[in-house]
Amino acid sequence: MKHLDIIVKGKVQGVFFRKSTKAVADQLGVKGFVKNEGNGDVFIAAEADTTTMDMFLDWCKEGPEDATVTSIESHEGELKNYRNFEVVKK
């Protein structure tokens, strides 16, 4: 298992990015959360095995249909052992 903090930049708010991220995370078995940042980015904390995480990251680079992802940053972090995947609202 590994933990990644992922920052997605581009047109990623107001395009159902968080809801779509949760659907994909639930389908793949990724645990963690997704939230909008004040600067227009989307922040994702994700935990999964390496293979699953690679598939999840591939999806994050595209996002949902109306999103335009310009870049993605990911940093490994400490495992938090999340129980599920949640959408965090402000």
What is the share, in percent, of the chain residues with pLDDT greater than 70?
100
Range of the domain at 34: 2-79
Total of domains in the chain: 1
Which residues, at least 6 apart from 38, have a Cβ–Cβ distance to it below 8 Å?
none
* Mean pLDDT for the chain overall: 97
Q: Is residue 53 part of a domain?
A: yes
Q: Is residue 10 part of a domain?
A: yes
Q: Is residue 88 part of a domain?
A: no
Q: Is residue 31 part of a domain?
A: yes
Q: Is residue 86 part of a domain?
A: no
Q: Which amino acid is at 28?
A: L
pLDDT digits (tens, 9 = 90+) for 4-29: 999 999 999 999 999 999 999 999 99
Which residues are known catalytic residues?
A: 18, 36
pLDDT digits (tens, 9 = 90+) for 77-88: 999 999 999 999
> Residue 37 burial (CB < 10 Å; 0-12/13-18/19+)?
middle
| 55 has a pLDDT exceeding 90 | yes
The pTM assigned to this predicted structure is: 0.97
Instruction: Say how many Å lie between the first and final Cα of the chain, rounded.
Output: 28
Identify the CATH number of the domain in which residue 51 sits.
3.30.70.100
